[in-house]
């Protein structure tokens, strides 16, 4: 919706063609490492495509989230061994030296009940068995990461009471907050930014 409004290009997470995702939700311990490597590579390639683009890009998930939230959560939950996490994180650190962070990070902060509602609405069968504990752990990791985020400007939007897909006034509120943040940053949106 933001891409349509501002005339940006959207780069969405490669979920439907991910060869590991369904297997991961069936057996997290077996598939955690290859899944995280797949996402890391996918996002790294996406960041490079954004850098080379002549368009302004909006991305739905960053490479940082994979490392600081999802991979960390899998390690903490013992689905990813310490050895595999260290290998993954070392690769992430090498890659992150070669990329530019987002010009603006927008964090959509949601409660567990809102996340469950959104997952249900999405209707992906392999997501139906996601545990509440897993979602709580992800939310905790997000809060921790956002609280320490220093890569660039950050806009936090609490979305529990927002339905910006179905209520235009809620989408207008999101646009107003984005416009305010971009204006206060005096950020010139130009090709190659994201």
Per-residue pLDDT for the chain (194 aa), expressed as one digit of tens each?
999 999 999 988 766 688 998 899 889 999 999 999 999 999 999 999 899 999 999 998 899 999 999 999 999 999 999 999 999 999 999 999 999 899 999 999 999 999 888 888 777 776 777 778 888 999 999 999 999 999 889 999 999 999 999 999 999 999 999 999 988 875 444 555 54
- What CA–CA distance (Å, rounded) separates 43 from 63? 6
Whether 11 maps to a domain, the answer reads: yes
Task: Answer whether residue 192 is part of any domain.
Answer: no
**Cα separations (Å) of 159 from 77, 118, 124, 148?**
27, 11, 21, 21
Shortest CA distance to 66 belongs to which of 98, 97, 44? Answer: 44
Residue 190 is assigned to a structural domain of this protein: no
Q: Which helix (H) or strand (E) holds 22?
A: helix 21-26
- CA distances for 29 relative to 25, 53, 78, 158, angstroms: 9, 37, 8, 32
What is the number of structural domains in the chain? 1
Q: Is residue 66 part of a domain?
A: yes
Cα distances (angstroms) measured from residue 21 to each of 26, 120, 165: 9, 17, 26
The reply to whether 169 falls in a domain is yes
Q: Active-site residue among 60, 76, 163, 179?
A: 60
**Is 44 part of a structural domain of the chain?**
yes
Domain with residue 12: its CATH number is 3.40.50.300
Beta pairing class for 154-158 and 105-109: parallel
> Domain of 125?
2-185
Q: Under a CB-based contact definition with an 8 Å cutoff, are residues 190 and 103 in contact? A: no
Is residue 39 situated within a structural domain? yes
Per the CB < 8 A criterion, the answer to whether 117 and 66 are in contact is no
Known active-site residue 137: no
């Amino acid at each position: 919706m933001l891409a349509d409004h501002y005339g940006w290009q959207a780069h969405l997470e490669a979920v439907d063609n991910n060869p590991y995702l369904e297997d991961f939700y069936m057996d997290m311990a077996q598939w955690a490492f290859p899944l995280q490597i797949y996402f890391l590579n996918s996002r790294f390639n996406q960041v490079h495509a954004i850098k080379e683009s002549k368009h302004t890009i909006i991305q739905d998930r960053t490479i940082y989230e994979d490392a600081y939230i999802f991979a960390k959560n899998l390690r903490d939950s013992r689905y990813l061994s310490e050895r595999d996490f260290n290998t993954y994180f070392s690769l992430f650190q090498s890659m992150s030296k070669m990329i530019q962070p987002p010009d603006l990070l927008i964090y959509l902060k949601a409660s567990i009940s809102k996340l469950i509602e959104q997952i249900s609405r999405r209707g992906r069968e392999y997501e139906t068995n996601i545990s509440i504990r897993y979602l709580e752990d992800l939310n905790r990791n997000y809060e921790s990461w956002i609280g320490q985020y220093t890569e660039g400007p950050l806009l936090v939007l609490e979305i529990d009471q927002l339905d910006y897909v179905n209520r235009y006034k809620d989408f207008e509120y999101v646009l107003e907050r984005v416009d305010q943040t971009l204006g206060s940053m005096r950020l010139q949106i130009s090709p190659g930014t994201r």
